[in-house]
Amino acid sequence: MDLSTALERAKTEEDVKDAYIKALGLKGVFKGLVDIQTPEIWFEAKESPTPPLLMFAQLLTYVRAARKRGEPIPGFLCVIDREKAALMATEHALPLLEDKSIVWPKSGSAADKVMAAQIAPTIETHFILYQIDGYEAEFIKAARDAVREGRIIRTPITPNNLRQVFDKWVAMVGHELGVKNEADYAVLFFADIMHDGTNEAMRNLPARLLFSGDKPVFIIGSEQYELASERGYRNFWNIYHRPPEQKHRHYLLERRDSLLPMDDQKFKGAFYTPLHIVDKAYDQLNATLGADWQSKYIVWDMCAGVGNLEAKHSNLRNVYMSTLDQEDVTIMRSNPAFAGAEIFQYDYLNDDVTDFGEIDYALSGKLPQALRQAIADAREGKKGAKPILVLINPPYAEATNDNTAKGVASDGSGAKENVAKTRLAVSLKADYGKATNELFAQFVARIDLELPMAVLAMFSTLKYVISPTLEHFRTTWQAKFMAGFVVHSRAFDSVPGNFPIAFLVWDTSVNLAVADIETRVLDKDGQEEGEKKFVTSTGQKLLTKWIVRPRSNREQVVPLKNALTTATATKDLRGTRWSDDAIAYMWCNSNDLQQANKTALFSSGFNGGHGLFVTEENLWQAAIVFAVRRLIKPTWLNDRDQFLQPSAPLSDIFKSDCLVWMLFNGSNLTAGADGLHWNDRDWSLTNHFIPFTESEVGAERFESDFMVRYMADMDFSPEAQAVLDEGRTLFRTFHATRFPNKIREEFKLGRADAGWYQVRRALEAYGDIELIDFDPFKAAYAALTEKLRPMVFELGFLPE
């Protein structure tokens, strides 16, 4: 199939991309923020016809960010849609990337017509436009020639990326040399970068680079080293430009003694940030603050540990590193990588904090005088004062309940003692609320108090941005979001769970309410996967505030921990009281997606609480809440997303779809049963959630016909009706089956009004004896699920 035909048949943007990839025979393709990315050429793709200038504006935004991060950029750029393609050499756009008059957006998707107009004069005359209908062959030849040419725009080596470049050189080149002494890597590296591939740019270096034909040979003293494999050497110098500019060469040589190969094991500790993720953080700072940020900013890391966040820094005379433990101070001072930095012991959450929450450096006398002066100059806005950048990965610990907040932690909860008893937490609780129960938020609070003009670049969870529990904190702490990324928690050793850890950059001198943010997304290996929007939670928008919650009454009921299992807990037992006119209890713990699996429906109280009573009046809402909480599966990236109130009208069909989906979900644990024993007496459960009459399913009289009456006047979509039809078949099979006593006793089948849980589980158990065909039901339920799942986003229950 030719390209034109493939594009005519394309239904989505992915189809358009795949059509071009196949037609051009592209190899080494990666799809991420850049729609199609190969080492030689990058593509911006659209499904519908789009002006080339607008597509180039978006593509150049990604190119500029990659270049600022020190990443290689391709020799050619291409924009494509289902009608046309436009191709240009990247070198023609390079002047635009340094043009300060252009307002570059935070993300490529935000590039607009205004920006397109700004870049138009430069690139309009350089890109070649091909209408695929008529010029397909010419475009394919031109694009393939561009790939074959392999022109790459190399990244220069500067004081700001020296550490990162060196580490990559060791990994790609140094390890192939078989060097006996790791300390020799630094001198061999300088011999390599101070050579243009033909001639030496600097002489009298401790090591030399010669070429035997086209093969590099390194000489240091009496030792001679050749590469075991030249692949890494070629790849490295495809990325970087050599030699460095003349103005940087002597400074770079002065830093030689601080360069030793970085070993992650040297930095392992409680709050260790992996070095490949530190690399990405420095790339982000380059892109956000400019390539000269290391010389422009004074940097203070007040929870430095053993310094791995500063391992990639190249201008350490501007760096202050403090930490709680004196042992860590000793380790950092002995590391040549930190030569020039000011390193000192300091307890940031206790030292120099007065009883009134003010900062008085005379209390401890620990803060270096130069840092005190820099802080004072920055606060006063003194002319020529260097701005301050706080670069931290603060410790994460939380006092999660009253005991741990008081420092007891005797309940086995795993929460940390004395978290909320630091001098800072005690003095600032009124201003920052529950945030003072969290160590990382206490760091942010003191930074806000002490360094109100600083830029904050911090690794942390996203709790302070999106969690409802820190809404009070966000009313006090305000700053302008600049940029950032999130990375899979599995990138960090010994971090349990799957969730995003964010590296976000904030300008605290600008008092803006924390709002929704967009970040880049990295996998655990640091590779880009796309973008993600995180929505800031406010109480008014949360789904938990949407549904009517009836109050409990004095009627005692049996607390359950499963459909037919009574509670065994004695401490903090919930679910022992009922509510007027209640027909069920719905467990729906917490408002974020990571807790969505804690959603279930019971015919009595639930022993853990954290839910609501279901009545005839709120049943339609309860069904929707149940469905939207269960339809979307948590992933590492979305599990902190908050459920929101609907932002669009809800149709009657959507409501009935959700009700049917809930009735036949595995977490519908409503049941009809006798003989439940709790608190020295027997209890019965009445099931109000059977959507069929006795005659429809061949059953004896049900105690309640509530659901049949409730659904009598409803309209159902074809998908929901199919679920009802297949569900009816299973209910009919259930009531026609004579179950063995073992199954009847296990699922308490002594009454006619067995619930979906009992029907499903009993038939599954009986399937060991006689085959029960669940496949038609599963197919119908899957079709209803696929219909409802995108509507969770379309109707605003979760951010897209």
- Per-residue pLDDT of 455-471, as tens digits, reads 999 999 999 998 888 88
* Cβ proximity of 36 and 111 under 8 Å: no
Q: What is the structure's pLDDT at 653?
A: 98
Q: What is the structure's pLDDT at 414?
A: 38
- List strand residue ranges (DSSP E) for 593-689, in order: 599-602, 605-606, 611-614, 673-678, 681-685
- Per-residue pLDDT of 76-129, as tens digits, reads 999 999 999 999 999 999 999 888 889 888 788 888 888 999 999 888 878 888
Q: What is the structure's pLDDT at 411?
A: 33
For residue 240, what are its two tokens?
A: 């970087």
- Burial of residue 653, with CB atoms counted within 10 A of its CB: 0-12 exposed, 13-18 middle, 19 or more buried: middle
Query: pLDDT band at 500, cuts 50/70/90?
Result: very high
Give me the residue label for tokens 């199919």.
Answer: 722
Calculate what percentage of the chain has a pLDDT beyond 90. Answer: 55
Bridge-based pairing state of the strands 207-212 and 298-301: unpaired
Q: What is the structure's pLDDT at 151?
A: 67
What is each CA distance from 193 to 169, 198, 212, 506, 507, in whole angstroms? 10, 12, 18, 35, 36
Write the DSSP assignment of 756-771 as a string of letters. Answer: HHHHHHHHHHHTTTS-
* Cβ proximity of 271 and 277 under 8 Å: no
* Cβ proximity of 198 and 217 under 8 Å: no
CA–CA separation, 123 vs 129, rounded Å? 12
Alpha helix stretches (DSSP H) within 680-747: 694-697, 706-711, 718-736, 741-746
CA angle 276, 277, 279 (to 5 degrees): 65
Query: pLDDT band at 668, cuts 50/70/90?
Result: very high
CA angle 597, 601, 606 (to 5 degrees): 90
CA–CA separation, 560 vs 567, rounded Å? 5
Q: What is the structure's pLDDT at 446?
A: 93
Q: What is the structure's pLDDT at 163?
A: 83
- Per-residue pLDDT of 336-353, as tens digits, reads 788 889 999 999 999 999
Q: What is the structure's pLDDT at 270?
A: 52
- Give the mean pLDDT of 205-229: 89
The DSSP letter of residue 490 is G
For residue 618, what are its two tokens?
A: 């709120």
Side by side, the strands of the sheet bearing 599-602 are: 599-602, 584-588, 611-614
What is each CA distance from 241 to 71, 151, 251, 278, in whole angstroms? 12, 13, 17, 23
What is each CA distance from 513 to 319, 397, 471, 480, 536, in whole angstroms? 30, 25, 11, 8, 10
Within a 10 A sphere around the Cβ of 676, how many other Cβ atoms? 18
Q: What is the structure's pLDDT at 405?
A: 33
What long-range pairs does 491-496 form, CB within 8 A, spacing at least 24? 491/274, 491/276, 491/277, 491/522, 491/523, 491/524, 491/525, 491/526, 492/272, 492/273, 492/274, 492/277, 493/268, 493/272, 493/274
Side by side, the strands of the sheet bearing 388-392 are: 342-345, 319-323, 298-301, 388-392, 455-460, 500-507, 480-488, 517-522, 528-534
Whether pLDDT at 747 is above 70:
yes
Within a 10 A sphere around the Cβ of 20, how many other Cβ atoms? 25
- Give the mean pLDDT of 374-394: 94
The DSSP letter of residue 634 is P
CA–CA separation, 667 vs 298, rounded Å? 55
Whether pLDDT at 779 is above 50:
yes
CA–CA separation, 609 vs 367, rounded Å? 49
Q: Is 427 helix (H, G, I), strand (E, B) or coil?
A: helix
Q: Is 797 helix (H, G, I), strand (E, B) or coil?
A: coil
Calculate what percentage of the chain has a pLDDT beyond 70. Answer: 93
Q: Which residues contact 168 (CB under 8 A, 6 or more apart)?
A: 236, 239
Give me the residue label for tokens 């099979």.
Answer: 733
Rg (CA), the chain: 32
- Give the mean pLDDT of 149-159: 75
Q: What is the structure's pLDDT at 412?
A: 35
- Per-residue pLDDT of 639-652, as tens digits, reads 889 999 999 999 99
Q: What is the structure's pLDDT at 271?
A: 55
Q: What is the structure's pLDDT at 418?
A: 62
Half-sphere exposure of 160 (CA within 13 A, CB side): 21
Q: Which residues pair with 602 in a beta bridge?
A: 585
CA–CA separation, 287 vs 483, rounded Å? 9
Q: Is 327 helix (H, G, I), strand (E, B) or coil?
A: helix
Q: Which residues pair with 121 in a beta bridge?
A: none
Which has the higher per-residue pLDDT, 208 or 255? Answer: 208
The closest alpha carbon to 182, from 260, 124, 86, belongs to 260
- Burial of residue 5, with CB atoms counted within 10 A of its CB: 0-12 exposed, 13-18 middle, 19 or more buried: exposed
For residue 587, what are its two tokens?
A: 């467990």
Within a 10 A sphere around the Cβ of 565, how many other Cβ atoms? 12
- Give the mean pLDDT of 215-222: 90
Alpha helix stretches (DSSP H) within 612-717: 619-631, 652-663, 694-697, 706-711
- Per-residue pLDDT of 7-55, as tens digits, reads 988 989 999 999 999 999 998 888 888 999 998 999 999 999 999 999 9
Half-sphere exposure of 433 (CA within 13 A, CB side): 12
Whether pLDDT at 404 is above 50:
no
